[in-house]
Amino acid sequence: MKKILFLLVIIIICTTNIISIADDIDEEQEETINKEEILSASTNAENIPIINSRSAIVIDRTSETVLYEKNAYDKRKMASTTKILTAIVVLENANLKDVVEVSKKAGGTGGSRLGLKEKDRITVNDLLYGLLLRSGNDSAVALAEHVGGSISGFSNLMNEKVKELGLKNSHFVTPHGLDEDEHYTTAYELALITDYALKNEKFANIVNTKDTTIYINGQAKNITNTNELLGNLNGVNGVKTGFTNGAGRCLVTSVTRNGHQIICVVLGADTKKYRTQDSIKLIEFAFKNYEYVNIKEKIEAEFKKWQNQEMKKIIYNKSINNYINYKLGEIKLNQIPILKNNIKDIELEINYKKELEAPVEENTPIGTICVKVKDKILVNVEILTSEKLEKKGILEYIQDFIKNYNYYISIGLQNII
């Protein structure tokens, strides 16, 4: 009987350990997705994506236009895609040449690993490659302890960055993304974090690396990127894979085609194959169904038309000037992606003040040009005064009276007669 109980205890312990390790499995040991499957999914992508992933979003990087979303604002666990923020915090707070001695805690971290052991020595630079290519949880802990002093100290830095970016629905507890109740983000905010990270040249170069050689204790080790789309789908240049039991399969992808870059986020797919297929469907949907329209050109043409036809109708009260000139405010975006079927529905609407009372300072907004598609506002651009509207003084009123004296007299005689 004692032997049976002993065996049961051993089975429970082993099972518990397996579940714990499965919280972030080795991405390299997941089901393999071959290039032929990826190309097939790309060719057969649906116009209106139906996806398995619980949450997803596609955004255009330049305009931050949302091209597709599914539950994109719901809080969710995000597994190893956490390491996008981990990397950017490290890049902004550490020297790449620093040598880190791996602690017992870092060396003992389970799940997806670079293969570090206690007292190993490795540079921050190589740890970052281990973090983002190999998805090493041990790399994440080593970096966190080096930069933040501890996991909690580093988490504070992560949340400070979240606050700096103006994100309201993200909170980070770990540098690797193992499941924690208070560790979450949304597909939308993860896309914004990725957009910010990609502005860092070093980060962008790392996540666009298919394989590389790093050095642990001076010994070479070759590592390969876990991102199944990198090198297999046209234009993919990053970013990060992820999986835990709580988060499901996750993938953040950056794609550039014809000078336009999008970020695709899928969270909570049931299998690696689903996350791959979902990402491809969304990427192809974005590039096949959206067209980049030169909005700046349209706004400038509408403004010129307004100058020729409407501007002269403005009435100026108490002013020295009979009229003044105007200019457009900043047009932040030259081009905006618009669904091809909606391009015919683009409307430009101008609203402006019909009367101005002096004085009015230069650069004062007096109206807007609004670009809309089916009542959805895409862009608002201000119409500004390009010079000051001067107010009349007593001298100007006297001069006006003298100038118009004969007119006033004639009006008075006519009234008497």
pLDDT digits (tens, 9 = 90+) for 222-264: 999 999 999 999 999 999 999 999 999 999 999 999 999 999 9
Residues 238 and 310 reside in one and the same domain: no
Residue 340 bears catalytic tag: no
* Within-domain flag for 335: yes
* Within-domain flag for 405: no
208-242 core/surface letters (b: 16 or more CB in 10 A; e: else): bbeebebebeeeebebebbbbbbebbebbbbbbbb
Residues 221 and 335 reside in one and the same domain: no
Residues 331 and 247 reside in one and the same domain: no
Write out the residue range of the structural domain in which residue 90 sits: 53-269
Residue 340 in this model has a pLDDT that exceeds 50:
yes
Q: How far apart are CA 283 and CA 266, in angstroms?
A: 11
Higher-pLDDT residue of 321, 245: 245
**According to the model, what pLDDT value does residue 13 have?**
41
Residues 298 and 229 reside in one and the same domain: no
**According to the model, what pLDDT value does residue 392 have?**
72
> Residues 407-413: what's their mean pLDDT?
57
Beta strands in 108-156, from DSSP E residues, in sequence order: 121-123
Using alpha carbons only, what angle is made at residue 41 by residues 39 and 46, rounded to the nearest 5 degrees?
135
Residues 248 and 302 reside in one and the same domain: no
Residues 313 and 263 reside in one and the same domain: no
Higher-pLDDT residue of 17, 303: 303
Chain mean pLDDT for the chain: 88
Catalytic residue, chosen from 77, 83, 161, 240, is 83
**According to the model, what pLDDT value does residue 391 have?**
85
* Within-domain flag for 11: no
Catalytic residue, chosen from 55, 80, 254, 319, is 80
> What's the pLDDT tens digit per position in 348-407?
999 999 999 989 999 999 999 999 998 889 999 999 999 999 887 666 666 666 666 665
> What's the pLDDT tens digit per position in 120-148?
999 999 999 999 999 999 999 999 999 99
Number of domains forming the structure of the chain? 2
Residue at which a domain ends, from 269, 304, 337: 269
**According to the model, what pLDDT value does residue 333 have?**
87
Residue 53 bears catalytic tag: no
Domain harbouring 173, CATH code: 3.40.710.10
* Within-domain flag for 301: yes
**According to the model, what pLDDT value does residue 117 have?**
96
Residue at which a domain ends, from 225, 254, 269: 269
Domain harbouring 362, CATH code: 2.60.410
* Within-domain flag for 403: no
* Within-domain flag for 27: no
* Within-domain flag for 138: yes
Say how many Å lie between the first and final Cα of the chain, rounded: 131
Residues 305 and 354 reside in one and the same domain: yes
Residues 308 and 256 reside in one and the same domain: no
> Residues 156-169: what's their mean pLDDT?
98
Residue 346 in this model has a pLDDT that exceeds 80:
yes
Residues 99 and 191 reside in one and the same domain: yes
**According to the model, what pLDDT value does residue 143 have?**
98
Residues 245 and 328 reside in one and the same domain: no
Catalytic residue, chosen from 135, 139, 155, 319, is 135
Residues 101 and 172 reside in one and the same domain: yes
Residue 135 bears catalytic tag: yes
**According to the model, what pLDDT value does residue 281 have?**
96
Beta strands in 33-123, from DSSP E residues, in sequence order: 55-60, 66-70, 99-101, 121-123
What is the share, in percent, of the chain residues with pLDDT greater than 90? 76
